[in-house]
Amino acid sequence: MPRNQPHVSRETSHAGDPGAFVDTPIAAAAARASEILTPGGTPPLPHPPQPRILTVANQKGGVGKTTTAVNLAAALAIHGLRVLVVDLDPQGNASTALGIDHRQPGLVSVYELLLGDADLASAIKQSPAHENLYCVPATLDLAGAEIELVSLVARENRLRNALSRDALAQFGFDYVFIDCPPSLGLLTVNAMVAAREVLIPIQCEYYALEGVSQLLRNIELVQAHLNRELQVSTVLLTMYDGRTKLADQVAEEVRRHFGDKVLKTIVPRSVKVSEAPGFGMTIIDYDPGSRGAMSYVDAARELAMAGAPAAR
Ligand code: ADP
Ligand code: MG
């Protein structure tokens, strides 16, 4: 397949596969679900030699940051990798999607972690979705943190210190995804200082690249002053609507700009994907046979197989 060809999912790939003969949509969905949920049938994904910490950032809201963070995390978890999602958005959408009630009183969250009032061990919650999947939830307290952090010592390094190599090793994490709020404030800066990689989800819509240059400038500032190791490793095109010419044009433009950092897999726009968080679930759990789930499984595989980028 040519590199630039959108590779939305393997939806039709079973058609020529004699081992998975399916002739009704439900049977096809069930076959795909079993393929996803029993990853023994597919080659295992490698454990990275060191935990990979990825910040999922784009200061535009609604581009699929949270959806991408939780679904890539869930897809890696079902492949046997241990994954942590750090919810850094006061809205707590990632926590919700991972089945964690972030409104329960007394919940130790990322807020306490940033302020140094709790350590990673007490802020981590296991997702009911999978034994390998964990979350540091966000509560509404986090909305005030941006201001409270300003007066603290090492205010940009708070998350990095909390996610130290020792702390991550204690849990054997392979991947950490940090789900950023839709702004470039101190919370996002903390995420960029804590990570080595930035993953940028880009929506296949009008103005998709608007704001991305500002994001890239901020990343350069962080590289220059706070975290030399940071680099944009991955771009994921989301909410692709194959019926529109525009979506293809956006995809092409993003590929011209970011080259092979753009994953071949494109996440399609799908109602199922948007329904899942309402049930406190990832799409991988909610409807594992769906195109949305398949695309995130494919994207996770690409991410894992590509490995961490070489040091800058
Ligand atoms: P962000 O975190 O960047 O604000 P979200 O991940 O919350 O973006 O996505 C914004 C909205 O779009 C949410 O309602 C989400 O459920 C929905 N959404 C995300 N990805 C898809 C998709 N592939 N298809 C349909 N809806 C999606
Ligand atoms: Mg979000």
Report the alpha-carbon angle 94-169-72, nearest 5: 30
Residue 291 Cβ contacting ligand 1 at under 6 Å: no
Indicate whether 21 belongs to any domain: no
CA distances from 267 to 19, 117, 187 (A): 26, 38, 27
Pull the structure tokens for residue 45: 């994904």
Amino acid identity of residue 137, one-letter, is: P
CA of 311 to the centre of ligand 1 (A): 32
% of the chain exceeding 70 in pLDDT:
86
pLDDT digits (tens, 9 = 90+) for 202-225: 998 888 888 898 999 999 999 999
CB 157 within 8 A of CB 113: no
CA of 64 to the centre of ligand 2 (A): 7
The SS3 assignment for 29 reads: helix
Amino acid identity of residue 43, one-letter, is: P
Indicate whether 107 belongs to any domain: yes
From first CA to last CA, the distance across the chain in angstroms is 31
- Among protein residues, the one with the nearest Cα to ligand 1's atom 15 is 274
Question: From its phi and psi, is residue 270 left (phi > 0), alpha (psi between -120 and 50) or beta?
Answer: beta
Q: Which ligand is nearest to the Cα of residue 67, counting in written order?
A: 1
Indicate whether 227 belongs to any domain: yes
Residues 238, 72: Cα–Cα separation, whole Å: 12
Residue 233 Cβ contacting ligand 1 at under 6 Å: no
Indicate whether 75 belongs to any domain: yes
CA of 12 to the centre of ligand 2 (A): 30
Indicate whether 217 belongs to any domain: yes
Residue 86 Cβ contacting ligand 1 at under 6 Å: no
Asked whether residue 16 carries a pLDDT value surpassing 70, the answer given is: no
Q: Which residues does residue 54 pair with via DSSP β-bridges, in sequence order?
A: 177, 197
CA of 63 to the centre of ligand 2 (A): 8
Pull the structure tokens for residue 77: 């978890």
Give the model's pLDDT for residue 15: 37
Pull the structure tokens for residue 60: 């535009």
pLDDT band at 29 (very low <50, low <70, confident <90, very high): low
pLDDT band at 30 (very low <50, low <70, confident <90, very high): low
User: Structure pTM?
Assistant: 0.90
Domain of 260: which CATH number? 3.40.50.300
Q: Domain of 226?
A: 49-306
Over residues 172-192, mean pLDDT: 96
Cα dihedral value 195, 197, 201, 206, nearest 10: 110
Indicate whether 139 belongs to any domain: yes
Indicate whether 38 belongs to any domain: no
Residues 62, 210: Cα–Cα separation, whole Å: 13
The DSSP 8-state label assigned to residue 2 in this structure reads: -
Give the CA radius of gyration of the chain: 19
Indicate whether 31 belongs to any domain: no
Residue 295 Cβ contacting ligand 1 at under 6 Å: no
Amino acid identity of residue 236, one-letter, is: L
Residue 239 Cβ contacting ligand 1 at under 6 Å: yes
Residue 164 Cβ contacting ligand 1 at under 6 Å: no
CA of 11 to the centre of ligand 2 (A): 27
Residue 72 Cβ contacting ligand 1 at under 6 Å: no
Our count of domains for the chain comes to 1
Residue 267 Cβ contacting ligand 1 at under 6 Å: yes
CB 200 within 8 A of CB 153: no
CA of 152 to the centre of ligand 2 (A): 26
